[in-house]
Amino acid sequence: MVWITVVLFWALVAAVAVAAAAALFPGTKCVDGARQRLRERFARGEISAAEYREGVRTLHAEGKDSPGWTAAGVVVLLAVLAVGLVLGMGGWGMHGWRGMPGMPMMPHMGRWTPTPTSAPRVLPGARVVAVELVDFAFRPGAIRVRAGETVNLRLRNVGRVPHDLYVPGLGFRAALNPGQEVVAGLAADRPGTYEFYCTLPGHREAGMSGTLVVSP
């Protein structure tokens, strides 16, 4: 609804501005054409000098009182079409998700559908590591485990948009909606440093990434 309100506001501002400009600076093409015809009739002797002057005064008065409402009508029509487009899109917001007003614009403005993930599997007896997903970072940004150790990642999305945590080197992914919390087991058998990040377009570029350090 925020986007619709913004469009309506600027449409109203544009309509008022054009109407004011049309009233202050009316078009003169029709008036100039009528004045030229008066001159021609006066030159041919069809009207007297007094009739010519009276005709010029009348045209001048009509020009002042006839603002260019056609231009204002075109602007209003375009504004209505723009509002209709926004309504037809169902309240387009950041990343195509609804109900998320007030968020900053990201490098992209497309729609995102998270890759389906299997149900989170909790590993009994495994150490719990808490990770928060915020807009736009992970807390902590580095996770340390030992090779062969199994851990349960307690993931909580405290941001205002959907996020996920993806570890491509281990084939691990968990997606969360705002306010959601899941616990998912993670096992790393090989030592090394693995990058993890949010796959929502633009989030990784905005700094939403971290490292999983697996020590021997």
Summarize pLDDT for 151-201 with one digit per residue, the tens.
Answer: 999 999 999 999 999 999 999 999 999 999 999 999 888 999 999 999 999
Q: How far is Cα 154 from Cα 148, in angstroms, rounded to an integer?
A: 19
Residues 157 and 100: beta-carbon distance below 8 Å: no
Mention every residue, 6+ apart, whose C-beta is less than 8 A from residue 1.
91, 101
pLDDT at 109 over 50: no
pLDDT band at 80 (very low <50, low <70, confident <90, very high): low
User: Residue 14 corresponds to which tokens in the numbers above?
Assistant: 């544009």
Instruction: Identify the DSSP state of 105.
Output: P
**Residue 36: is its pLDDT beyond 60?**
yes
- With a cut of 80, say whether residue 118 has pLDDT above it: no
Q: What is the pLDDT of residue 42?
A: 78
Cα–Cα distances in angstroms (integers) from residue 22 to residues 15, 37, 173, in the given order: 11, 25, 59
Average pLDDT, the chain: 75
Nearby residues of 193 by Cβ (< 8 Å), 6 or more positions away: 211, 212, 213, 214
Tell me the mean pLDDT in the region 32-57: 82
The pLDDT-based confidence of 2 (bands split at 50, 70, 90) is very low
Question: Structural domains in the chain?
Answer: 2-96 (no CATH), 127-215 (2.60.40.420)
